[in-house]
Amino acid sequence: MKILVINSGSSSLKYTLFNMADESVIFAGTFDRIGLEGPTHAYRSQDGNRSAHTSQIRNHGQALDELLHTLTGGPLESLGDLSAVAHRVGHGGKYRNAVRITPDVLSEIRRMTPMIPLHHPAMIMEIEECRVRMPDAVHVAVFDTWFHRTIPDKAAIYGLPYKYFKERGYRRTGFHGNSHAYISAKAAEFLGRPLEELKVITCHLGNGASVCAIERGRSIDTSLGMTALEGLIMGTRAGDLDPGLMPVIMKEDSLTPDDVIGMLYRDSGLKGISGVSSDMREVEAAAEQGNHRAHLALDAFCYKVKRYVGAMLMVLGGCDVLVFAGGIGRNSPTVRQKVLEGSEGLGFSLNEHANHSRRAYADNPVVDISGDASKVKVLVIRTFEELMMARQCMEVIEGKSGREHA
């Protein structure tokens, strides 16, 4: 059973080919800078061969052509070897569990584009191109929202007139489900305890970021909402706002709804505050050199994570394990330290040496950075969203999933 997992961004396309017999990665790669100057394609095969080169591709369709050429010239004899293709989709609307992609599913994904305006167009384009190039493969959509289908109404509802909840279905659905599910399960496995016995807070901190409260293996609250904007300050996204501020700014600056979308999704967050970059490495470097705005962006980012961890602590009524993951959570000792400073009274403490020196890698994905006095285990985990996607895709193929709606 070979499954190809595809994760499309607006200017990137990541792919992983799995052998589901043992869940091993046969081949994985990334196209970057699609549609921009100097696109690249980097990949590695199971036997350790790596390649990184500048590519001629100009759009996602051409990236797929190169991808399929690369796969059939190496790990696959033909595309007929593929059992299925799993596509990452931000929001499935009424669909939560992974499903086979049909015209109805595609139109529901399209309907949800206003909720995920930056990501969905690239995801939809990629699915359409794949269906043309691989007409005989089973195509499965795996939604970022699936893990949060257990969030109760009291946490999901917005304080708006009831019709928006009841008639339009506007509720907090959350994202990064594959990551929160994977890292919570991995934490339980590392601790040698059943996940069902644990209260877990997971912090997926990457370009997009969210915190999740997990009880008995089920998400009961998360910081992201119905769109990809709520909650934490992100790379270019604003996170929580006072909703009353938006009409004020719109009037003052004569902004259209599309201008506001651009501002909140592309020009805010770390980038908007720091004026330096959306990339945490560059923000940290500028802060170290004394850049005031970069310092403020770093502090504000960490403060927001701290605030949500505190909220989830109350939601869960305590916490056994706190997990950091995502590009920032996994790689930034500074962020982890700032999030946890002053929380000793709540049972959190860090082993400073471990926090600075130990790293989570593919062959050592879980690192314990808890201090001796810590009542809560603090772990850094390398997330593996693609594996969760491949597993869900398998369930659809085997008929164990895909019939259930939200």
In the complex, the residues that contact ligand AMP under the rule CB under 6 A are 206-207, 235, 279-281, 284, 326-328, 331-332
In sequence order, the 6+-apart residues with CB closer than 8 A to the CB of 397 are 1, 83, 84, 138, 140
Instruction: Specify the residue, 281 or 353, whose C-beta has the smaller distance to ligand AMP.
Output: 281
The CA distances from residue 40 to 12, 37, 293, in Å, are 9, 10, 32
- Which C-beta is closer to ligand AMP: that of 134 or that of 209? 209
Shortest distance, CB of residue 385 to ligand AMP, whole angstroms?
Answer: 9
Find the shortest distance in angstroms from Cβ 208 to ligand AMP.
Answer: 6
C-alpha to C-alpha distances, 251 to 227, 263, 265, 267, nearest whole angstrom:
23, 14, 19, 18
- Min CB(326)–ligand AMP separation in Å: 4
CB of 330 within 8 A of CB of 380?
A: yes
| Helix or strand run (H / E) with residue 26 | strand 24-32
In terms of CB distance, is 40 or 207 closer to ligand AMP? 207
Residues labelled catalytic: 144
Closest C-alpha to 157, from 165, 145, 147, 149: 165
The span from the CA of 350 to the CA of 287, in Å, is: 23
Q: Is the Cβ of residue 210 or residue 332 nearer to ligand AMP in the bound state?
A: 332
* Phi and psi at residue 332, to the nearest 5°: -110, 100
Spatial contact of 80 and 192, defined as CB atoms under 8 Å apart: no
- Considering the complex, what minimum distance in angstroms separates the CB of residue 16 from ligand AMP? 14
Task: Find the shortest distance in angstroms from Cβ 281 to ligand AMP.
Answer: 4
Work out the burial of residue 128: count CB atoms within 10 Å of its CB; fewer than 13 is exposed, 13-18 middle, 19 or more buried. middle
Report which residue type is found at 11: S
Question: For residues 64 and 129, is the Cβ–Cβ distance under 8 A?
Answer: yes
Q: Which is nearer to ligand AMP, 131 or 358 (CB)?
A: 358
